Amino acid sequence: MPETLPAEVAAAIPAPLRHRSRGVFAGRGGAWVIGLSVLMSLLALMPIAFIIGVSVQTGWATLATLLFRPRVGELLINTVLLVAITIPLCIALGVALAWLTERSNLPGRRWWSLLSIAPLAVPAFVHSYAWVSLVPPIHGLFAGVLVSVIAYFPFLYLPIAATLRRLDPAIEDVAESMGLKPWAVFFRVVLPQLRLAVCGGALLVGLHLLAEYGLYAMIRFDTFTTAIFDQFKSTFNGPAAHMLAGVLALCCLAMLTVESAARGHARYARVGSGSAREPRIVHLKTGSTVLALTLFTVTCALSLGVPLITLGKWLIAGGANVWQMAELMPALQQTLLLGVAGALLTTCAAIPIAWLSIRSPGRLQRVLESCNYITSSLPGIVVALALVTVTVHFARPIYQTTITVLLAYLLMFLPRALVSLRAGIAQAPVELENIARSLGRSPGRALWLITLRLAAPGAAAGAALVFLAISNELTATLLLAPNGTRTLATGFWALTSEIDYAAAAPYALLMILLSLPLTGLLYHQSKRTAGR
Amino acid sequence: MNTLELHSICKSYGPQRALEDINLSVPTGSRTVIVGPSGSGKSTLLRMIAGFEFPDSGRLTLNGQTLVDPTHEVPAHQRQIGYVPQDGALFPHMTVAANIGFGLSLKGLEKRERIAQLMDSVALDANMADRWPHELSGGQQQRVALARALAQQPRLMLLDEPFSALDTGLRAAMRKLVARLLADAGVTTILVTHDQSEALSFADQLAVMREGRLVQSGHPLDLYRYPGDEQTAIFLGDAVVMPARIEAGWAHCDLGRIPVNNHRNNRCAQIMLRPEQLQLVGIVSDSVEATGCRAVVTERDFSGNTCTLTVELEPSASADQPGRSLMVRSSGLYAPPTGSAVHVSTIGHAHVLSES
């Protein structure tokens, strides 16, 4: 880790900004906030710096032999096919389900809406565990696409449903008054307005496809991530693993670029003033209703029925024997401990950046923020490899300690905390803090009494999201955790690797129970952003 | 004696000059209003006095204590200056009582008594103490904000467009209440507004700002009557401005001979009259001896208690262009109809504007 002196931090800040921020932050406080944000962003850039550094060190000749070989081509084809087939399927399914729950009079549509988000509560590798134990021969690309769609389509359903709820129905009325048929209205007016939601959701799904290890390892489908993991296990920290990680990181960056190009600069907010009317509800004919209900039933059966039935089967078959409390309880305890510590650390680290982005938005702040977003879009395995290498070489005392694991969580999940925290701080306009100061409170006291109090709900939501992400995290924990660490995820993984599916079932059940609040929170948040 | 002194305050945001060489003295116990169009820098100036922003250069003193000079600056929380912003900015997570008590260092019963006293002084019912800000109307929120600012017995009270979010009827009532309350408490007050009628009615010292400069300050009546330039004249109210030749205390213009308050001779200048200085008399017969000049009513804008008329003066014999159009105020009920011939006469002095 580069040792960052205060003077260096100060030098990194352009002079005009320091000058201008004087009023907003009342002097020295501002420099501290900016300094901490810069420090966080430098830390976030470490995995990318690691990849570049390793590439330079390896040299072009070795690099070329490692990169241009049939194995890499094979992995690339696998990954591209997986992404290219899964994402369109997820988009189609997400749009169809969202339209049915938000814009049609489908019976029980509130329940279907909840059930469409519920698969998120099941970790992706538990999905594939369920499929493998239900249909043991399942493997390869088909299996990869099937389980990926089932595990990740809610990431598209959620934002699309929220956007559909928020769209101004007056625009559709106008389109219809211009003589467009209902189908034309949907394709020419409604669908284009879903672009941001579709882009954002598709990016999220794509990054998960690239980063996921457990899901694909279980059904024996090779992607970059599984290959890096195997390579790491056989040759530890060699250049082969590093170069694969480099290609994987490039894939992620390419995906970010494609998404931001697809997103464009268009404005999709409602232009008029006043609040929009309730959206129009389309009355389905009997045939369409039956078709829609079939779609929902099949989707739920695949995405919820299969995992729950499999789990139930193993739990019944295993009986009381599988509840090995002596192993289960420490795993639960360790998961909670890591989750709480990681959530607290990540939320605290997000405070300076969130603060800057609300109170002093500018070019520097945007650069700082995008550093964190880029790193968090890198797969956990790349972050983990970077941390292994850096700690082995530069910070031996923290190698294979909890500190390194927490650092990985911080790098991977910071944006989750950031987004919620930023919304929270936006609830507290700077004027309130000014008033508190004019009433005789020092800047620090004013921050504590007003802004942090008002931002607390947002911070709590962010911390909860991070906690739940950590409790299901597998890859980085496997690579970085000190010997003897056994979380629910790694415990589950160890048992399934021994094909002891019955003993793994209680771990899966506990993970699902821990994740249920996440699902509730997401459902609640999506309703709130829709203004209800 | 002066409470607040501002000496050549300057402030820029990048290439944008927000404040340029502001000098202002605010006498103890006075109500000073800073008025200007939006973007004129008036709010920036106010926030600078409060200590939320700092000038690039200049000096600011309060009761002889230096708040800002080139070497040091006193932060907001040590200034003891009350501040009430446009929307009140109540703390949303505190009740009315907690909001008002925020700046109090008292505890227990003493604190509750002081809060009750403050609520009474701003005419808030005692049973509102436990309400939340979102349960209050706009006017009530403003009064809570005022009580909160008064709680710390400020040396100076700053009001940033505090009435502009209220509807018209409530606005005048709140303005009176606040003026009386602050006068009773003997608190020196600075109010910022873009509304000229509010400024004229609230102030005993008026300062007009434009494009970051303080263009004129003084008693509101003086500024209304004798504005420095045409822009200020128009900003403070409707004005009739026309060219004239000044000679021995008289202005010769399209309206004939009008007395002026300037005795410089043989000079061409712009003169200004307020529309209420013009008087219309309907022409009954074709008698020639009536004073003033003849004109025709071309437009009538009836708005209840007053009626604003546009009249066109009869073109003079020598010129071939049509006569000058003037705005005249008349009583709403007895205004002459459009098309009628009238005589225009003037009351009082015309004001000679300086060339700008």
Round to whole Å and give the CA distance between B66 and A285.
78
Are the Cβ atoms of A434 and B91 closer than 8 angstroms?
no
pLDDT tens-digit map of A289-312 = 999 999 999 999 999 999 999 999
User: Please, what is the Cα angle at A127 between A125 and A133, to 5 degrees?
Assistant: 100
Residue A474 belongs to a domain: yes
Residue A243 belongs to a domain: yes
By Cβ distance, the residue of B53, B54, B82 closest to A438 is B82
CA contacts within 13 A on the Cβ side of B267: 15
Confidence of residue A517 (pLDDT cuts 50, 70, 90): confident
Residue B240 belongs to a domain: no
Round to whole Å and give the CA distance between B256 and A310.
103
Q: Which residue has the higher pLDDT, A128 or A416?
A: A128
Domain end marker among B181, B204, B235 = B235
Do A252 and A327 belong together in one domain? Answer: no
By Cβ distance, the residue of A440, A453, A454 closest to B77 is A440
Domain encompassing residue A364: 323-532
A275, two tokens: 């609040």
A23 has pLDDT over 80: no
Do A405 and A362 belong together in one domain? Answer: yes
Residue B354 belongs to a domain: no
pLDDT tens-digit map of A132-180 = 988 888 888 999 999 999 999 998 998 888 888 877 777 777 777 877 8
Residue A26 belongs to a domain: no
Round to whole Å and give the CA distance between A342 and A380.
15
Residue B264 belongs to a domain: no
Residue A130 belongs to a domain: yes
Residue B96 belongs to a domain: yes
Do B177 and B292 belong together in one domain? Answer: no
B318, two tokens: 């020598």
Instruction: Give me the CATH number covering residue B207.
Output: 3.40.50.300
Using a CB-CB cut-off of 8 Å, the residues of chain A touching B85 are 431, 435
How high is the mean pLDDT of chain A?
82
Do A234 and A199 belong together in one domain? Answer: yes
Q: What is the mean pLDDT of residues B226-251?
A: 88
Residue A5 belongs to a domain: no
Residue A195 belongs to a domain: yes
Are the Cβ atoms of B91 and A432 closer than 8 angstroms?
yes
What Å distances lie between residue A52 and A57, A249, A288, A422, CA to CA? 9, 11, 54, 31
Instruction: Give me the CATH number covering residue B288.
Output: 2.40.50.140
Do A70 and A140 belong together in one domain? Answer: yes
Do A75 and A224 belong together in one domain? Answer: yes
B156 close contact with A: CB closer than 8 A: no
Do B94 and B149 belong together in one domain? Answer: yes
User: Please, what is the Cα angle at A94 between A89 and A96, to 5 degrees?
Assistant: 100
Give exposure, B43-82, as e/b (b: 16+ Cβ within 10 Å): bbbbbbbbbbbbbeebebbbeeeebbeeeebbebbebbbb
Do B210 and B282 belong together in one domain? Answer: no
By Cβ distance, the residue of B75, B85, B148 closest to A439 is B148
Q: Which residue of B has its CA nearest to A27?
A: B75
Residue A13 belongs to a domain: no
Domain end marker among A291, A320, A349 = A320
B300, two tokens: 């009538």
pLDDT tens-digit map of A64-86 = 888 888 888 888 899 999 999 99
3-state secondary structure A393-438: HHCHHHCCCHHHHHHHHHHHHHHHHHHHHHHHHHCCCHHHHHHHHH
Q: How many CB atoms lie within 10 A of CB A262?
A: 13
Give exposure, A361-370, as e/b (b: 16+ Cβ within 10 Å): eeebbeebbe
Q: Which residue of B has its CA nearest to A446?
A: B77
Q: Looking at residue A13, what is its pLDDT?
A: 34
Q: Which residue has the higher pLDDT, B29 or A426?
A: B29
B58 close contact with A: CB closer than 8 A: no
CA contacts within 13 A on the Cβ side of B232: 27
Do A341 and A478 belong together in one domain? Answer: yes
Residue B44 belongs to a domain: yes
Using a CB-CB cut-off of 8 Å, the residues of chain A touching B79 are 438
- Residue B69, SS3? coil
Domain encompassing residue B339: 275-346
Q: How many domains does chain A have?
A: 2
Round to whole Å and give the CA distance between B200 and B224.
8
ipTM above 0.90, yes or no: no
For the entire predicted model, the pTM comes to: 0.73
Instruction: Give me the CATH number covering residue A502.
Output: 1.10.3720.10
Do A316 and A332 belong together in one domain? Answer: no
Residue A90 belongs to a domain: yes
User: Please, what is the Cα angle at A259 between A210 and A69, to 5 degrees?
Assistant: 40
Q: A14-28, A29-43, A171-185, A376-390 — which is least confidently predicted?
A: A14-28
B107 has pLDDT over 50: yes
Do B300 and B182 belong together in one domain? Answer: no
User: B41 with B18: CB under 8 angstroms?
Assistant: yes
Q: How many domains does chain B have?
A: 2
Are the Cβ atoms of B103 and A16 closer than 8 angstroms?
no
